[in-house]
Structure 1
Amino acid sequence: MQPKKIKYYLLGLFITGMILFVVLQFNSSNNIRKLIKGNEQLLQELNVKNELQKLQTNMAKTDSKVRGAVISQDTTHITGIEAEIAIIKADLKEINKIVKNDSTEKLLTQLYYLVEEKNNFNLMVLDTFYSNGKEAAEKMINNQKGKRLGEAINGILRQLDTTRQSEVNRTTHLIDSSGQKAQSWGTILVIFACLTCLLAFLYIISRIHRQEQLIEALDESQRQEKKLAAVKEQFLANMSHEIRTPMNAVLGFTHLLKSQPMNDKSREFVNAIENAGQSLLEIINDILDISKIESGMMRIEATSFSLRSVLHSVNTMFRPKAEEKQLQLTVTIDEDVPDILYGDMMRLTQVLVNLTSNAVKFTHEGEVHIHARKIWAEDNSVRILFTVSDTGIGIDADKLNSIFDRFNQAEASTTRKYGGTGLGLTIVKQLIELQNGFISVESKPGEGSIFKVELPYTLGESPAEEDNNYYSDNDLYPLHPDVRLLVAEDNKMNQNLLRHLLSSWQLQFKIVNNGKEVLQALDKQHFDLVLMDIQMPEMDGYTAVQAIRNERHSTIPIIAMTAHAMAGEREKCLQMGMNEYISKPIIEEELYKIIQVYIGKLPPRELPSALHHPHETGAQHLINMHYLHDLSKGNTDFEKTMLEQFITQLPEELALLKKAIIAEDIAGIRATAHSLKTTVAFIGLEEHLYPLLDPLEKLPENNYHLNVIAGQFNTLKQLCIQAVQEAINILL
């Protein structure tokens, strides 16, 4: 049966049931009425029978009184005789009234006549008794007239009684028949009601069962949907990792290649490779952003920020590109717009960067203008209207409604000519809607475009000035007054690297060794951003970030730093509460860009030209100094410090690893192998040592073979000894 027709079958069944119920009820009611009518007739017949007996009794009583008075000559016997005769007449009239019908009309007429004659005869006997005496009265009595009248009356009464008895029998039969029919129809009605209830119950049970099946199917569908979503997220994580890893290598080696002497043609090719790599990374980021928004992983993190600093950063970021295209890039803010706002600075920056990037990309001459003004304010709430206008190629009117759709651009040729995924404006719109804002666009072909973004904010509070005595800690470098970073890292070589990088960028920072010290530092001091290692002693990065988010309810940006290269690590960090993820070994440009985006106060960097490194020769078989050279930018003291730290730290970590292997301490083996991966990465030993360290870092609990592990350790030890010797040779 088709689902669409079932309702008509049910309706027909319901109507049929109702008709049958009405018919049954009608027949049952009809038989009950007959039963009631039969009972009334039976009562009437009994009443007639009673009246006939009463009439017969009264007449016999009257006749007896007359005879007694004549025979005994005692007139006291006939006292009240007239009243009794009147009663007989009244009884006769009552009988005539309740019995009269076609079959008894003649008998009633005869009875009325005979009773009247009998009464008159009795009165005549009494008159004769009073006037002529006893003998004359006895003579009248003995002439048999009174007897004949009495017999005739009794005969008629018997006929009436017989007739009434037949009527009583017929009525009784009718009552029995009606009662039986009423009982039968009542039984049928009860059976029908029971069947109807049973069918309704079975139908309801079947519908409930069907509903339960649908709920189970829905639950299974939801489970499958979640499973597919997890597969999708895992796929995106794998794709992100697998693409980012070679792309980082491509961009890294491209950056190194740019620092080498080359002719103009070669430099053009290298620039093309770098631009293509950056474009590919932007595409990957767009795909991941839209995936995070759709899966609900994109969170709005509100914090106090400077609006003018954000706009200044956007202006600084795009000014070189605008000047390259000979465009005028201007940023204006109305005076009544408050500077310190409370909201998601990162999402605002992402929106403005995306819109400004499009404006610069699609404008060949003229200007790009960014303007901010206040359009509404009440108490401590405001709504800010951001306008990004340009004099670029513009958009056709029939395309305006679709430019915010995914993978959609104004023209089919736009992607080929300008590049991009068509996801940028989709991401912008959804980010704005996540913040309860609105976006609109006005444009004409050849005249440019105007994007208007309206976002709600509350007034923020400026960070309180910190106590300068706190910066007496020798791990904190007071070089830039506007930026304060907290670095959580337990590896000494990583600490030296981050000291070198952050100091060279003129940033204030404090270095701590574990998650507990992170929480203590945040309780004492305001920081703009946290660089958080994942694996640390006492309290790891995951535990620390959950304490920051759930217990302290802080929205401070937290960047995860980990040597894990497993797929999905970035998404895991984001789910745990991190804002971004950077893998080790740390790429200088990538770290600077992340800090620049989340802080919003750092200008673009001008990289120094590459210097010649006399220590790098073809004699080293293991150590590769490219990464360290790239970080040092010719700072030989920094390189020397890192190599000395390596020579000191590597034997210590090997000793810890050996101790854990002998003790069969699997957790200790994993942790030490992870730390060793960071230590050896600085001098390019990944290719040689990671194949030995990865199995130790992922060592399973139930598959520990001491001989195998010892063999791996001996191989690792020999390579490390060779690497240490090479490092010593470089320092000499």
Structure 2
Amino acid sequence: MQPKRIKYYLLGLFIFGMILFIVLQFNSSNNIRKLIRGNEQLLQELNVKNELQKLQTNMAKTDSKVRGAVISQDTVHIIGIEAEVAIIKADLKEINRILRNDSTERLLTQLNYLVEEKNSFNLMVLDTFYSDGKSAAEKMINNQKGKRLGEAITNILHQLDSTRQSEVNRATNLIDSSGHRALRWGTTLVFFACLTSILAFLYIISRIHKQEQLIEALDESQRKEKKLGAVKEQFLANMSHEIRTPMNAVLGFTHLLKTQPLNEQSKEYVSAIETAGNNLLDIINDILDLSKIESGMMRIEPVSFSLRSVLHSVNTLFRPKAMEKDLQLSVTVDESIPDILYGDPVRLTQVLVNLTSNAIKFTDKGSVTIHVEKVWEQDQALRLLFTVIDTGIGIDPAKQQSIFDRFNQLESAATRKFGGTGLGLTIVKQLIELQNGFISVESAPGEGATFKVELPYTLGDSISEDQQNYLAEGEILPAHPDVRILVAEDNKMNQNLLKHLLHNWQLQYKIVNNGHEVLQSLDKQHFDLVLLDIQMPEMDGYSTIQRIRNDLKSTIPVIAMTAHAMTGEREKCLQMGMSEYIAKPINETELFRLIQLYTGKLPARDHVNGSHLPAEAAPLQVINMQYLQQLSNGNETFVRTMLEQFVTQLPEELSALKNAIASENISGIRAAAHTLKTTVAFIGLEEHLYPLLDLLESLQENSYHPQIVAAQFNTLKQLSIQAVQEAIHLLL
């Protein structure tokens, strides 16, 4: 039977059952009514017999009293005779009431006459007794008139009683038959009810069982879907990250190449590479953002922030691009809007950056305007309307809703001309909805577009201005005094690298060695961002981020720095509460982009002119200086400092690894291998040493074999010695 037709069969069965139930109930009720009527009729007939009997008895009593008074000449016997006569009349009246019908009309007429005559005769006897004496009264009694009247009354009463007896018999038969029929129909109804209940119970049990099976199947399907979704998100994130790492290298070397003397054609090629690389990096970043939102890892972290600072950063970021296209870029804010608000400035910046980027991209001439106004305010809460207006190509009204769908752009021609994936507005819409806001668009082809974003905020607390400078002694004051970075890193080479980068970017910073110092610094001072190493002594990065989020109740952006290359490391960092993840060796461009994104206070980077180190006198067999040269931007002192640090630090870390292997300290071996990965990455030893270090870092108790580990260490030691010798040669 087809599943779709089952419901019709069930409906038909239900209707048939209801009709049968109604028929059974009707017949049962009808027989019960007959039974009730029969009982009522039987009671009435019994009442008639009782009334006839009372009449006969009362008349006999009256006769007896009259005779007794005459014979004994004692008037005591006739005391209350009038009352007795009245009772007889009342009995006769009641009999007339309950027996008045066509079949008894004649008998009742005779009875009424005879009873009246009998009463009159008795009264006449008494009158004669009182007036003429006993003899005259006895003579009247003996003339048989009274006797004949009594016999006539008795005869009529007998006829009435016989008539009522047949009615009693008929009522009894009716009661008996109705009772049996009611019993049969009641039994049938009970049987039908029991059968229906059993069938309904079996059906419900069957449906419950099927529903349980369906729920189990749905749960299993949901588990598989979540598993597949997690695999998809993990694959997507890992793929995007793995693509982004070499892309940052491509862009970094392109940036360095632009600083070299080039002919016009070469400059054109380099610019094309840089443009294509930036476009590809934007696509990868969009995919990462979308995967974070869909996997629930995108968090809204409200803090007190300056609205006008955010808008100034957006203006500064896009002004060069607007000037390049000869567009007028303006940002205006209503004066009634307070500057310090409580919300998520990072997501607000991301929304405005996407909308402004699109406006400039699709506008060839005219202007792009960002305007902020207040649409509602009550107590400490308010809603702001951000309007981004351009004079670009516009959007067909029929396609305005679809632009927020993923991978959707207006026309294929627009994709070819302007590029992109069509994910930007999808991400914007989802970010706005995460903040309980909404977005709308008004546009027409050739007349530009107006995007309106409404977001809720509350009034924020004043942002304390801590004037303490975190630069090392002798360094110049930062160009961005309102940007404060806290760096948690225990590796000396990493500390030197970060000092070099943050100093070149002219940012304020403070470097600490472990998680305890991070918590102390955050408790005493204000920072905009934390760069947090995962592997640190005393308190690692995971424990530190939990303390920051749970104990300090801080929502400060925290970027994890780790040399872990294992699958799922990035997702683990995000789940623990990190804002983002950057792998070691640290990519300069990626780090600057993250600082720019999460502080919202840095303009686009200017090109830095620098020179490469001169080529080495002899070819290097192990060391690869490309990464260090890229970070240095031509600073030979920085390269020399890093090489000296490497020559000093590598033997110490090898010694620590050797001691851990000698004592068979598995956790110590893993920690030492992880530290070595960071150190050797600066001079390009990943290809040679990472395979060995990965094995040592993932070492487990049940897979520990001393001979194999010792052989791995010896190979590691030989390559490290050669790397140190090459580094010393470069320092000479």
Q: 1:538 to 1:51 in 2, by over 3 A?
A: same
Aligned to 2:717: 717
Q: Is 1:235 paired with 2:239?
A: no
- Give the direction of change, closer, same or farther, for the CA distance of 1:154–1:265 in structure 2 (3 Å limit): closer
Q: Which amino acid aligns with 1:27?
A: N
Matches within 5 A, 1:254-265: 254-255=254-255, 258=258, 263-265=263-265
Identity of aligned residues (%): 64
Task: Measure how far apart 1:391 and its partner are.
Answer: 3.7
Q: Cα–Cα, structure 1 residues 119 and 614, in superposed 2: closer, same or farther, change >3 Å?
A: closer
Looking at structure 2, the residues matched to 374 and 328 of structure 1 have their Cα atoms a distance apart, in angstroms, of 24
Shift of 1:699: 1.8
Aligned partners of 2:533 and 2:39: how far apart in 1?
Answer: 97
Residue 43 (structure 2) aligns with: 39
Q: Is the 8 A contact 1:366 1:391 kept in 2?
A: yes
Report the AA paired with residue 524 of structure 1: K
Q: Displacement of 1:476 after TM fit?
A: 9.7
Counterparts of 1:363 and 1:129, CA distance in 2 = 142
Q: Aligned pairs, how many?
A: 724
Q: Distance in 2 between matches of 1:407 and 1:549?
A: 35
Shift of 1:662: 2.8
Name structure 2 gaps, 5 residues minimum: none
Shift of 1:441: 3.7
Measured in 1, the distance between the counterparts of 2:587 and 2:329 equals 30
Question: Which shifted more, 199-208 or 223-232?
Answer: 199-208
Unpaired stretches in structure 1, ≥5 consecutive residues: none
CA distance in 1, matches of 2:562, 2:274: 25
When residues 48 and 220 of structure 1 are mapped into structure 2, their CA distance, relative to the original with a 3 A threshold, is farther
Q: Secondary structure at the match of 1:537?
A: coil
Q: CA deviation at 1:508?
A: 1.5
User: Where in structure 2 are the equivalents of 1:601-620 lying within 5 Å?
Assistant: 601-614=601-614, 616-620=616-620
Give the equivalent residue in structure 2 for 1:294.
294
**1:652 correspondence with 2:656:** no
* Aligned residue number for residue 426 of structure 1: 426
Shift of 1:461: 4.3
Distance 1:476 1:172, change over 3 A: farther
With over 3 angstroms needed to count, the CA separation of the structure-2 counterparts of 1:185 and 1:50, relative to structure 1, is farther
**Match for residue 75 of structure 1?**
73
| Residue identity opposite 1:686 in structure 2 | E
- Greater alpha carbon shift after TM alignment, 677-686 vs 581-590: 581-590
1: CA distance between counterparts of 2:94 and 2:611?
145
Equivalents in 1 of 2:332, 2:43: separation in Å? 105
Distance 1:63 1:189, change over 3 A: farther
TM-score, L = length of structure 2: 0.86
**Partner-residue secondary structure (3-state), 1:409:** coil
Residue aligning to 2:464? 464
Distance apart, 1:355 and its partner CA: 2.3
Query: How far off is 1:258 after superposition?
Result: 4.8
Which stretch of structure 1 is more off in the superposition, 515-524 or 431-440?
431-440
Query: 2:320 — aligned with what?
Result: 320
Determine if the alignment matches structure 1 residue 668 to structure 2 residue 668: yes
* Residues 205-254 of structure 1, C-alpha deviations (whole Å, 9 max, x = no match): 66666665565555455444433432332232232234224434443454
1:273 corresponds to: 273
Taking a change above 3 Å as real, the CA distance of residues 63 and 419 of structure 1, as seen in their structure-2 partners, is same
Distance 1:37 1:51 in 2: 21
TM-score where L is the length of structure 1: 0.86
SS at match of 2:544: helix
Which AA in structure 2 matches 1:29? R
**Is the 2:514–2:537 Cα contact (8 Å) retained in structure 1?**
yes
Deviation at 1:23, TM superposition (A): 4.1
Distance change >3 Å, CA 232–CA 10, structure 1 → 2: farther
Give the equivalent residue in structure 1 for 2:395: 395
1:623-662 → structure 2 map (5 Å cutoff): 623-662=623-662
Which residue does 2:499 correspond to in 1?
499
Q: Distance in 2 between matches of 1:604 and 1:94?
A: 121
Does the CA-based 8 Å contact 1:476-1:511 persist in structure 2?
no
Question: Quick one: distance in 2 between partners of 1:43 and 1:690?
Answer: 116
CA distance 1:616–1:603, shift in 2 (3 Å): farther
Partner Cα distance (1:109, 1:395) in 2: 109
Distance 2:402 2:136 in 1: 138
Alignment match, 1:582: 582
Query: 1:334 & 1:154 partners in 2: Cα distance?
Result: 119
Q: Which stretch of structure 1 is more off in the superposition, 418-427 or 223-232?
A: 223-232
The 5 A counterparts of 1:107-126 are: 116=117
- Residue 49 of structure 1 is matched in structure 2 by 53
Q: CA deviation at 1:374?
A: 5.2
For 1:533-572, list aligned pairs within 5 A: 533-572=533-572
What is the Cα deviation at residue 100 of structure 1? 6.3
Deviation at 1:280, TM superposition (A): 1.5
Distance 1:171 1:284, change over 3 A: same
Q: Is residue 2:360 matched to residue 1:360? A: yes
Secondary structure of the equivalent of 2:74? helix
AA of the residue aligned to 1:730: L
Tell which deviates more after alignment, 215-224 or 632-641: 215-224
Secondary structure at the residue paired with 2:486? strand
* Residues in 2 aligned to 1:436 and 1:129: alpha-carbon distance in whole angstroms: 117
Deviation at 1:50, TM superposition (A): 4.0
Please state how far the C-alpha of 1:112 moved relative to its aligned partner: 7.0
> Deviations 1:642-680 (Å, cap 9, x if unpaired)?
112112211221122222223332222221111111110
Q: Are 2:305 and 2:463, in contact at CA under 8 Å, matched by a contact in 1?
A: no
Q: Helix, strand or coil for the counterpart of 1:483?
A: strand
Superposition CA RMSD, Å? 4.0
1: CA distance, partners of 2:718 / 2:302: 52
Partner-residue secondary structure (3-state), 2:703: coil
More divergent stretch after superposition (159-168 vs 236-245): 159-168
Residue identity opposite 1:319 in structure 2: R
Contact 2:372 2:386 (C-alpha < 8 Å) held by counterparts: yes
Indicate if the aligned counterparts of 2:366 and 2:391 stay in contact, CA closer than 8 A: yes
Distance 1:90 1:99 in 2: 15
Corresponding residue for residue 509 of structure 1: 509
Quote how far apart the aligned CAs of 1:359 are. Answer: 2.7
Query: Displacement of 1:309 after TM fit?
Result: 3.2
144-153 or 331-340, larger mean C-alpha shift: 144-153
Tell me which amino acid in the other structure corresponds to 2:25: F
Instruction: Report which stretch shifted further, 482-491 or 102-111.
Output: 102-111
Contact 2:307–2:339 (CA under 8 A) maintained in structure 1: yes
Distance between the aligned counterparts of 1:444 and 1:20, measured in 2? 72
Give the Cα–Cα distance (whole angstroms) in 1 for the partners of residues 327 and 139 of structure 2: 159
Q: Deviations over 1:337-358 (max 9, x none)?
A: 5444333222222222222222
Distance 1:136 1:448 in 2: 137
**Per the alignment, do residues 476 and 95 of structure 1 end up closer, same or farther by CA in structure 2, a change over 3 Å counting?**
same
Tell me the distance in 2 between the aligned counterparts of 1:326 and 1:140: 150
Deviation of residue 483 (structure 1)?
2.0
Counterpart-to-counterpart distance in 2, 1:366 and 1:109: 122
Counterpart position of 1:727: 727
After TM superposition, list the pairs within 5 Å mapping 1:52-67 onto structure 2. 52-56=56-60, 58-59=62-63
C-alpha change, 1:432 and 1:124, in structure 2 (3 Å) is: closer
Distance 1:157 1:239, change over 3 A: same
**Structure 1 residue 531 corresponds to structure 2 residue 531:** yes
Task: Say if 2:340 and 2:459, in contact at 8 Å, map to a contact too.
Answer: yes
Q: 1:340-399: CA deviations, max 9, x gaps?
A: 433322222222222222233223344444444556656555554444344433334444
CA displacement 1:1-49 (0-9 Å, x = unmatched): 6376456754664465345434432432332222222222222223323
